[in-house]
Structure 1
């Protein structure tokens, strides 16, 4: 995809303008693809619940503050999401072993099962989308996306 309206004049500015355009399109098309995917597997969790469950599955039980900090979200936003997830039996609360006044959140088996179903459906979808890419190109894309996410994460922690 090309952008005839670059702000810079050199090759680096042109590349940065292309990256900005491609990331904007990636976000728009990613959301459009999610909405257009007809399988129920993609809809068993909303986006926020999926991200929270993915993090908890890797990191283990967390209090809301740690979860909010890790996901770069406001604590009140995470509290609302966690409350909805608890009503849906996706997460459970337990006393925080380091602070008796607080609680930690952990995924339930139902939450992990639903998260795994969404992850498998998304993996199949990307397998279809990238079917004509070589394994090397897929690896390169995964590596570059990981680097981009790491850079974005580091930027939000400044």
Structure 2
């Protein structure tokens, strides 16, 4: 089986350099705009908040450990990131229905409304940025970006990187 070093030398170094450069540019642009979408700054939301709210919306109420595991990050990181969301009323802490000692996090109605506002704005941004693209190009880009993110996530988790194409999904751990 070829090692990572063998694979790197087999591939076009110029193409790999261009890829890593474009990923770095994308990361910088995404952070600069916070992918805030269109319109006013109020439509922006930091990455951590967006990913946490999105996960709670998709999967429903859950404890800190489950949320951290699903996102592929440490529980202490989730606790730190959730605190301002609770303080601003976007997330509610409630007692677990079966174990009153355990805390469950859930999206509040205010959090749901805010998340929908940000999603709408980001959806509009994605439509504008890919305006000249065909539906097939949008789908291909989404598939490849999902595959890329899944491979990075697997590598970070110490899992083998699967080389087959992945279908577009939001189920891979985020950071």
| TM-score (normalised: structure 2) | 0.75
- Matched with 1:101 is 101
- Matched with 1:42 is 43
Q: Between Structure 1 and Structure 2, which shows a larger proportion of helix residues?
A: 1
Q: Deviations over 1:91-133 (max 9, x none)?
A: 1112224544211101011101100110110110111111111
Total equivalences in the alignment: 150
Look up the SS of the partner of 1:101 in the other structure.
Answer: coil
- CA contact under 8 A between 1:96 and 1:104: conserved in structure 2? yes
- Matched with 1:141 is 141
Runs (5+) with no aligned partner, structure 2: 1-7, 159-175
- CA contact under 8 A between 1:41 and 1:121: conserved in structure 2? no
C-alpha RMSD over aligned residues = 2.2
- Matched with 1:3 is none
Q: For the residues of structure 1 that align with 2:134 and 2:100, how far apart are their CA atoms?
A: 52
Runs (5+) with no aligned partner, structure 1: 1-7
- CA contact under 8 A between 1:49 and 1:85: conserved in structure 2? yes
Following superposition of structure 1 onto structure 2, how do residues 9-158 of structure 1 map, counting pairs within 5 Å? 10-34=10-34, 39-43=40-44, 45-97=45-97, 99-158=99-158
Q: For the residues of structure 2 that align with 1:123 and 1:70, how far apart are their CA atoms?
A: 24
C-alpha spacing 1:155/1:35, structure 2 compared with 1 (3 Å): closer
